[in-house]
A = this chain, B = another copy of it.
Amino acid sequence: MSSTTSLESMKEQMVPENEVEQVRLLNGVEDSYEGIIVEIKEHMDSRNFVPILRASISQWKQQGKKGVWIKLPIEFSNLVNPVVQEGFRYHHAEPEYLMLVRWLPNSPDTLPANASHRVGIGAFIVNNKREVLVIQENSGGFKGTGVWKLPTGVVNEGEDICEAAIREVKEETGIEAEFIEILAFRQSHHAFFGKSDLFFVCMLQPHSFNIRKQDSEVEAAQWMPIEDYLNQPYNKEHQLFQYVAEICKTKSEGDYVGFPAIPIATASNKKIYLYFNNRDFNRL
């Protein structure tokens, strides 16, 4: 797409002649909502790019297209401003690219929203002495507070909640464990750059017991009698923490049932887990 082109050559396209270079158009892939997705793959000077974009938009309008998506890898950031000047807005960004979008019809925009939530886990693990695995953090809001808390972490994009819980416990404390079930989850808002947040309290079964703590994030780690964990003043003063601690204690004592992770077969061989109360489900 590096050839010289212009709005003039576009007009001339209407009466093509051999000596007139025709304007190039952007190659797009159609989506299932009458939209078009364009990924820029070559460097272009913005002076060359703008007439091509304008001609493409003109064609897509004639074709009755609705949403036009332009994926701009970060190495082509010189084109961000020209695309915005042509009426596009930001949709989302990842480290390596920016996605811009423009709704062509006059009707109200039905474009899908950006990802809205971050997802985190906390891991409740008890040994056979009714001691719970707890840590103190060396950064963030709990730094220096002396509060012993469950190991926690962020679920990565593409990672299952049940896998994230196992990974975080291993990373922070060195303990090998098996996922049992989700005991509870909470949703909160405006947690991080305006995004919402889902946090899943997971029950795990330990398969090893010798703690090797991660130095970069963890100040201290230990097995703590469950009553001592529960009775920390911080937990007493914060209703959310008190509920979570009480639910964990209830689980450790009796037959509280949460949602285990049931793997589901899909036609596309995607890995999907369904989390539900399979004790009640199987009993009936």
List A residues at the B interface (Cβ < 8 Å): 32-33, 74, 77-78, 80-81, 84-85, 89-99, 110, 112-119, 139-141, 154-161, 183-190, 192-196, 198, 216, 238-240, 243-244, 246-247, 250, 253-259, 262, 264-267, 270-277, 280-281, 284
Number of copies: 2
Q: Smallest CB-CB separation from A95: which chain B residue?
A: B89
Q: Give the Cβ gap from A73 to chain B, nearest Cβ, in Å.
A: 10
Residues of chain B with a CB closer than 8 A to A96's CB: 89-90
With A90-B98, A195-B157, A198-B119: A255-B280 Cβ-Cβ less than 8 Å: yes
B84:A81 contact, CB within 8 angstroms: no
Residues of chain B with a CB closer than 8 A to A95's CB: 89-91
Q: Give the Cβ gap from A68 to chain B, nearest Cβ, in Å.
A: 15
Residues of chain B with a CB closer than 8 A to A186's CB: 264, 272-275
Partner of A184, one of B78, B114, B276: B276
Q: How far is the CA of A250 from the CA of B244 in the complex (A)?
A: 28
Residues of chain B with a CB closer than 8 A to A90's CB: 74, 93-98
Residues of chain B with a CB closer than 8 A to A284's CB: 250, 253-256
